Amino acid sequence: MSKRKSSSIKHLLTIVTVMLVIAMLAGCGGNAKGESNNGGANGSGTVDSSSDQIQLRFAWWGSQGRHDRTLKAIELFEKKYPHIKVVPEYSSWDGYWERLSTQVAAKNAPDVMQMSILYIKEYSERNVLGDMNPYVGNQLGIEQLNADVVANQGTVDGKLTGIPAADNASVMLINKEIFKQAGIEPPAIDSTWEELFAKSSELKAALGDGVYGVFDASSSLEAFMYYLFSKGDSLYTGNELGYSDDNFRAWLEMWEQARNEGLATPANVTAAALPLSNADPNKDALLKGQVAVYGPTWVAVFPAYESLMTENVDMIAYPYAEQTGSVLQTAMFFSTAAQSKHPEEAALLIDFLVNSEEAADVLETERGLPENKSIRSYLEPKYTERDKRMIAMLEHVSSIKPSMYDAGPKGAGEVTSLFEQVVQKHQFGVATIDEVIAEFRTEGNKIFAKNNNE
């Protein structure tokens, strides 16, 4: 072997050895101990960051704007706690619940998940969600949150399974540009269904076919629940469906007439834009200019629409009858998985999202008016005109004696899907109103019996 060749081999071995040593040192390196954020866990975080980096899966639903903001907040969290890597999982509303259901069935739920009032009770009672009580005052602070909401909505069977993220109210959205084109004044902030359909008739006369006054919400159980509230009725009684069949018949007849007169979206247009609560303006008929009034949706989704429609979108309360149909509720919760291997770190992430000024600077009011009182005050100087409109709408709904959102008995999520399927049969003309009324009550109560009598 030549001296030149021998020297080259020795040089190569030296480089490889140095690289291996560097890699070993990097793998053994430690980080400073993490601390909780201001206002959250009183700065007493106990998670040891000197251990190997761990991964937290974090799932949420929403629009692209929410995704972008949340990803930035995650970056800030990882910078503050470099021993924690957050793996994001996000989608639209409908895709979110389909995937979460599959993950739960496979015992593979995300460590941290955005949770709806629709499902928090059900997922809690199925032991999917973790109890965060052991971490309160340490990794997780709740002293700046609404105690009633934490106790009555975030706590299920004594377990703290949901940390409220923001306040919310149900509203209808209006496309102001459509009314402007027609030369018609938009509906009043407090309108009846009759007044909305009258506006729809004016729009049809001015703009012709292809534009509908109101999106057909007849297959939305949420919309029907608010309608019942406006009539002084309720959707549930105990663990069963509790409304009057006469009110259900009036609901279906109202929408049937609106479709027949061309005032509400036809079945094919409606089905293509469902679900109403997808929280993504790119996927619904309002942004496309197909409908002038859309809902019900929530104050919390207004920023997603306003960012795309600017001054052409506004909010009104859900239509009233004997009283308003608008309700108040928590916009959403943050929950942990009961089977998470890292519950302390999961609580720390939730604390950061809800209680830290760093996260607030990025998230602002995208998920609604922050539940944390100190964060709400912190953001006040930064409130835009959009934020002020959201706050004004929340205050308005609060002033007109709204009902509180009713998440229903265990199995309500399944019943919600059933309602859409059954009512769609009527929308497409393959079932009568009487058949829909009978089928939903029978099959809905079977679902509740199955879920609550086990």
Radius of gyration (C-alpha) of the chain in whole angstroms: 26
Where are the CATH 3.40.190.10 domain residues in the chain?
A: 54-166+330-383, 169-328+403-452
In DSSP terms, 90 is beta-bridged to 60
Evaluate whether 93 touches 61 at the Cβ level (below 8 Å): yes
Element holding 115 (H helix, E strand): strand 112-115
Q: Cα–Cα distance between 290 and 211 in angstroms, integer? A: 5
**Domain boundaries 169-328+403-452, corresponding CATH code:** 3.40.190.10
CATH 3.40.630.10 fits 54-166+330-383, yes or no: no
pLDDT in tens, the chain (454 residues): 443 333 333 343 343 333 333 333 333 333 333 333 333 343 334 444 445 899 999 999 998 999 999 999 999 999 999 999 999 999 988 789 999 999 999 999 999 999 998 889 889 989 999 999 999 999 999 999 988 889 988 999 999 999 999 988 999 999 999 999 999 999 999 999 999 999 999 999 999 988 999 999 999 999 999 999 999 999 999 999 999 999 999 999 999 999 999 999 999 888 877 655 555 666 678 888 889 999 999 898 898 899 889 899 999 999 999 999 999 888 899 999 999 999 999 999 999 999 999 999 999 988 888 999 999 999 999 998 988 999 899 889 989 999 888 888 888 889 999 999 999 999 999 999 999 999 999 999 999 999 888 5
Q: Cα–Cα distance between 96 and 82 in angstroms, integer? A: 28
Evaluate whether 202 touches 182 at the Cβ level (below 8 Å): yes
Q: What are phi and psi of 181, to 5 degrees?
A: -60, -35
pTM: 0.71
